[in-house]
Structure 1
Amino acid sequence: MKLLALGLVLATASCAVFAEGGQSVGCFTSGKTNVKFVQIDQDGISLGYVKYQKSKVAIPLIYVSSTTEKNEEGGPDQFTIKWAEFINGKINGYYTVMSQGARFYQFEYKSRTNAITRFEDNTNAYNSDGTDCHW
């Protein structure tokens, strides 16, 4: 429980704190909804959050699991990471993020009721250096 509380605090902290670590940003759309996904890697710990376009607050994500698939054709490996979404201290749903190389290519949300929302990478939403989304 202490790890969960620590994760929630860190996930909502300013990204400036993690400037020395790696940060990845994904800008996604479902066609109706835009969402920014941020993954922060620091000292072997992965944290994340999502921020919906029309929301004023970010939703903390806690790392659940990951898998790696080797690319037999010599390209970059494919990574799939599952994150738990926490709202009011409870798991509200799960995000699954798939990436290959420097780009995200699949982003999916599964709610507590098992409703699935699929998002696509919105390449037009990234700022010039790929560190933020502009809607």
Structure 2
Amino acid sequence: MRRMVCSALLLCLSGAAQAAVDSETRCFSADNGGKPVHLQFTVVGDADAGWQAAYVRYGKRGKPITLGWLRGEHEVLAEDRPWQFTDEWVEIVDGKVHGRYTTVHQGARYYGFHYRGGDGREVEFAEDLAALDASGRRCAW
């Protein structure tokens, strides 16, 4: 009996811990000289703890690349509109910073998604709303 109560308690606690973590996935594309580049951007965070991280995945089978949140700004563009947020993320590969992503979003829409590599290469992505699969967790290209 005691074992069943402990198991039930652990199950409830694990559910409560998972409920605090949220994720959001967005799909982006860029025209790279006629050959499109597809990118999945997923943010994972715990609003209660004030923590967030993210990863990007290029193409259908790309390996996830860890992003760390660096800084953010927000501004009110109009009294009756949602705030606009600009966030900067650093790309971490093998423990080193390799590039930076800058995102601009307002409400439920992303209006800017910019990548600048450590080698100076820059790519401007546009949100691809049609690419998000039915689960809302992966991009389907």
Q: TM-score range by the shorter chain?
A: 0.7 to 0.9
Counterpart for residue 72 of structure 1: 78
Q: How do 1:10-29 residues align onto structure 2 when only pairs under 5 Å count?
A: 20-29=20-29
Q: State whether residues 28 and 34 of structure 1, in contact with CA within 8 Å, keep that contact through their aligned partners in structure 2.
A: yes
Q: How do 1:1-135 residues align onto structure 2 when only pairs under 5 Å count?
A: 20-31=20-31, 32-42=36-46, 43-128=49-134, 130-135=136-141
Could you tell which deviates more after superposition, 39-48 or 53-62? Answer: 53-62
CA distance in 1, matches of 2:84, 2:122: 22
Question: Is there any run of 5+ residues in structure 2 with no aligned partner, and where?
Answer: 1-16
Q: State whether residues 60 and 140 of structure 2, in contact with CA within 8 Å, keep that contact through their aligned partners in structure 1.
A: no
1:55 is displaced (CA, Å) by 4.0
CA distance in 2, matches of 1:134, 1:54: 7
Q: TM-score, normalised by structure 2?
A: 0.77
CA distance in 1, matches of 2:63, 2:99: 17
Select the structure of larger CA radius of gyration.
Answer: 2
Q: Share of identical aligned residues, percent? A: 30
Q: Note the alpha carbon deviations across 1:100-119, whole angstroms, 9 max, x for none.
A: 10122211100112221000
Aligned residues: 119
Counterpart for residue 11 of structure 2: none
Question: Is there any run of 5+ residues in structure 1 with no aligned partner, and where?
Answer: 1-16
Q: TM-score, normalised by structure 1?
A: 0.80
Residue type at the aligned position of 2:25 = V
Q: Which runs of 4+ in 1 moved over 6 A?
A: none
